[in-house]
Amino acid sequence: MPTLYVLDVENFRPVIEVAAALPGVICRRVGDYAELSAEGEITIDRRATGVNHAAWYSTVAGVADGRVVQQDKDALRVVPA
């Protein structure tokens, strides 16, 4: 189960909210981070988040049991390891 960690601060909250609303994504708070997990791939559309490029490219705080295969101007994709 791939898990994405995002620092839970104002700049990244739109990313967390969009990801948490995706089908099959489980979101919980772990310390100062949002933990986003899914059975399969997690794909977050950058435009849906409305964050600027600087925040977008700084979103990933960590990944467990998966790997980032895309983080560009269009999307962030984390797939199972």
Point out which residues pair with 66 in neighbouring strands.
80
Which domain covers residue 39, as residue numbers? 3-80
pLDDT for the residue numbered 51: 97
CATH of the domain at 74: 3.90.56.10
Contact 79, 67 (CB under 8 A): yes
pLDDT for the residue numbered 3: 98
pLDDT for the residue numbered 42: 98
Domain count, the chain: 1
E strand map for 1-81: 3-7, 26-30, 33-37, 42-45, 62-64, 66-71, 75-80
| pTM of the entire predicted model | 0.95
Residues lower than pLDDT 50 in the chain: none
pLDDT for the residue numbered 56: 97
Q: What is the CA radius of gyration of the chain?
A: 11
